[in-house]
Copies of this chain bind each other. A is one copy, B any other.
């Protein structure tokens, strides 16, 4: 990654454009965000923007590349600092997404997921980078699950389970945005936790000695 701070700690212009573009694409989508708006919000002139990126399309690719580096410091590292329990990290991660959604009144959702549905079809290079972002995300979760060792049954495929976590999260975020409340997301994460339990993942909860009958508050009625 190219340096983004000069010796005085000021942010690189190119980096500032990327950060703002990433944010605006997240808030408004790719097609709904004009180049002029990005330039204005980033305090640069349109001409300067086109000095760094030869087209809006090229900017999108750079943003998706930027997102690859953004994930760790902004999303995953805080989770690892919040808890050392590798299984619980999965659910702290989901709760952090929940907090963000709550803060935004169920708007925005996942920046990568949004772009995946908006620009994948007509843009192979973007599609590839979106895929890498997802793999980046699931790779990190997979490492947690692997670190959990024998707390997962040996025959559980860690990678598949990690991808399933992403599947459930994206599906839950989508429905919560349409619903306008966090109910669907909470339901989805509850059923995911139930699945973990039934698969035989020993969670912090179950290790605290609580009797797990898989059931309460998950797929089963209360």
Contact = CB atoms under 8 A, between A and B. Distances in A.
Given A117-B113, A155-B221, A160-B219, A134 B31 contact: no
Contact of A219 (B108, B157, B166): B157
Contacts of A118: 29, 32, 114, 117-118
Nearest to A154: B221
B167 A184 contact: yes
Decide if the interface of chain A is mainly helix, strand, loop or mixed: helix
Interface residues of A, number: 54
Contact of A160 (B120, B127, B187, B195): B187
A86 interface: no
Contact of A198 (B27, B127, B133, B198): B198
A117 B114 contact: yes
A199 interface: yes
Interface in A32-70: 32
A100 B155 CA distance: 32
Interface string A157-172: 1001101101111111
A120 B161 CA distance: 29
Nearest to A161: B219
Contacts of A182: none
A188 B188 CA distance: 14
Contacts of A120: 107, 177-178
B166 A171 contact: yes
Contacts of A108: 121
B178 A172 contact: no
13 contacts: A28-B121, A120-B178, A130-B178, A155-B220, A156-B220, A157-B219, A163-B187, A164-B191, A166-B171, A166-B175, A171-B174, A191-B195, A198-B198
